[in-house]
Amino acid sequence: MPSMLNPPPFLPAKHRIRQAFDQAATNYDAAAEVQREVSDRLAAHLIQAGGNLNPDTILDAGGGTGYGARQLQAQWPDTELTVIDFAPRMLIAARDQLATARLICADIEHLPVADMIFDLYWSSLAWQWNDPQRCLAEARRVLKPGGALAVATLGADNFPELRHAFADLDDYGHVLTIPAPEQLLTACQASDFEVWRWDRQPVRRYFPDLRTLLRSVKAVGAREVEQRRPTPLSRSAWQALTTRYEALREPAGLPLTYDAVWLIAIRP
């Protein structure tokens, strides 16, 4: 069983993502406003769809600093809770507030746990950093028959404003490429899950300027918007980027839109 402080080896792309989340761990909770909203909605969907759920064992896959895990403990204080994340510093940040939970540093595409041991598999905004099909297969493996799947992830239309602003500036990909979420729904149904809830809604935030907006993205570990460019933007490119983004300004500020997806399903 992997220990909390000995993360598994990864291919370079995932290693880079893990490093970004490790670096963001200290200030993550202060910046993760959208992440909290998405988690809150996932909890509301779960309680509404499965009001009679009373899980004895719960897995929080990609639990980060433990915000979702704390929600789960508040709802089901007597449950046996396991939190798995690939960034050790995230788990260190979660440890003080999750004294009774089992914390494991591991890859959620390859869960280091036995088959069919959890009544509830929960994951909020983690699958988009992984292969969603692999995550779904692992969720099905570790859930008991009749166990509940509660997932929040991102769709393919994430950060459209950034894509627009960077268009024609260079040939680099500045936004994480995510498969269409309908593929996940189809895979879930093909695996004989009974889908109780499927919802896709934009979650938008506003910022006073572009630098503040980009800092907010980096503060929650989502550094892929800049990581793929090997050199910083030139002064002229930055000015062009700012001008393009300013054209999107609304009365509330510069918009940034997350394409959020929520899924509640029952394993056969």
Among 123, 133, 130, CA closest to 61? 123
Percent of all residues in the chain with a pLDDT value above 90, rounded to a whole number: 62
The answer to whether residue 252 sits within a structural domain is no
Residue 237 maps to a domain:
no
Q: What is the CATH number of the domain that holds 46?
A: 3.40.50.150
How many domains are contained in the chain?
A: 1
In a domain, 172, yes or no: no
According to the model, what pLDDT value does residue 27 have? 66
Q: Which of 61-65, 92-96, 104-108, 151-155 has the lowest mean pLDDT?
A: 92-96
Structure tokens at 61: 């896959």
In a domain, 149, yes or no: yes
- Asked, for residue 153, whether it belongs to a domain, the answer is yes
Phi-psi label, residue 174: left if phi above 0, alpha if psi -120 to 50, beta otherwise: alpha
Tokens representing 153 are 């992830």
Tell which residue, 48, 52, 45, 87, has the closest CA to residue 66. Answer: 87
Asked whether residue 122 carries a pLDDT value surpassing 90, the answer given is yes
Q: Is residue 128 part of a domain?
A: yes
**Within a domain: residue 242?**
no
Mean local confidence (pLDDT), 174-200: 88
At 253 the pLDDT is 98
Average pLDDT of the residues of the chain: 87
Residue 67 belongs to domain spanning: 12-158+177-205+257-266
Is pLDDT of 199 > 70? yes
Q: Quick one: pLDDT at residue 101?
A: 95
What whole-number percentage of the chain has pLDDT above 70?
A: 82
- Mean pLDDT calculated for residue range 82-109: 92
Q: Which residue has the tokens 């909203």?
A: 37
Which positions ≥6 away from 243 have C-beta within 8 Å?
none
Please check whether residue 126 lies inside any domain of the structure. Answer: yes
Query: Shortest CA distance to 155 belongs to which of 126, 128, 129, 117?
Result: 128
Indicate the SS3 state at residue 50: coil
Q: pLDDT of 126-139, one tens digit each?
A: 999 889 999 999 99
| Mean pLDDT, residues 217-239 taken together | 68
| pLDDT at residue 239 tops 60 | yes
* Across 186-207, average pLDDT: 95
**pLDDT at 230 exceeding the cut of 60:** no
Mean pLDDT across the stretch 159-172?
81
